[in-house]
Amino acid sequence: MAVTSASAAAFGGPKITLNNGLQMPQLGLGTWKSEPGEVKAAVKAAVGIGYRHIDCAAIYKNEEEVGEALTELFAEGVVTRDELWITSKLWNDHHRADDVPGACSTTLQHLGLDYLDLYLIHWPVATGCTGDVLDPTTEETWRAMEALQASGKARSIGVSNFSAKKLSAMRAHAKVFPAVNQVELHPVHRQDDLLSACAALGTHVTAYSPLGSPDSAAMIDHKGAAVMVHPAVVAIADAVGKSPAQVLIRWAMQRGTSVVPKSVTPSRIEANFASFDWELSDAQMAKLSAIEPQTRMIHGAFWCNPEGPYRTLADLWDEL
């Protein structure tokens, strides 16, 4: 996937060219865990700073407030709709083909938009599914996603939290192959093999929770080394005169992934955006890319069900 330079991209920073030819800003604002009353101000601050990519999802329960921010930004002339890249995601309880259009329409209504730039299947999980086979199947859901793209309601379509095996299996039925696979990525969970597999399949990878999602530890009981205080990250941050968050964002960008760090603090939103005019050295990249052990923070254990298709985490992630 081609990456434009920051200077060529102007506001919004460098852009990634997806497999359908559309260009997505490489750095976006994440909105997961942004509380009501906070996310509107965060979105307005981000766009004012120069962000042009906002990452949303129905399950975040804050799309109406994001929509209020967008409506005000358009009315105030800060930005136009075609200057923004807005991503949202289909939740697990709307995977039936007949349910997908309504879910997308609700998201569009909440956001106050006519179309999404990118619409993702949030998880390869169907609410209430029991038995050995995912039902509805990914094929059924994807067929409805393809119809959304054909209708113009979603300019690009993709997936999230898909393993290389699950993504590769879509080649058997997909008429439009996923443009993006959004997954957890940071130096403590690099997913090198998945990154290589997605590149071979022509699917761009977006890194979510690029700072290690420290504020979700209590929520989902994840364990492992905190990414932003890892000694390697801190040492490199000190050496380059940047914050650990800036180092992690820069590492993600230099790997060629897009990245959607979340913050509701204006100073951090601005600092996170200051990631275009400096680089990590090859040695620093190598040090960050050699951290062991590797630990998944967004572990997915909440989807394991002894009566469902994912009885173990190995079933969900296709990992031994």
Angle at 291 between CA 286 and CA 296, to 5 degrees: 125
Beta bridge partners of 27: 259
Q: CB-hemisphere CA count at 13 Å for 240?
A: 23
DSSP string, 155-190: SSEEEES--HHHHHHGGGT-SS--SEEEEE-BTTB-
Q: How far apart are CA 154 and CA 104, in angstroms?
A: 9
Reading the block at residue 315, the tokens are 């079933």
Beta bridge partners of 184: 208
One-letter-per-residue 3-state SS of 28-94: CEECCCCCCCCHHHHHHHHHHHCCCEEECCHHHCCHHHHHHHHHHHHHCCCCCHHHCEEEEEECHHH
Reading the block at residue 222, the tokens are 């994840």
For residue 5, give the 3-state DSSP assignment. coil
Q: Which residue has the tokens 């997909």?
A: 174
Distance of CA 288 to the CA centre of its chain: 21
Q: Are 211 and 227 in contact (CB under 8 A)?
A: yes
Q: Nearest CA to 203 among 278, 80, 118, 281?
A: 118
Active site amino acids: 60
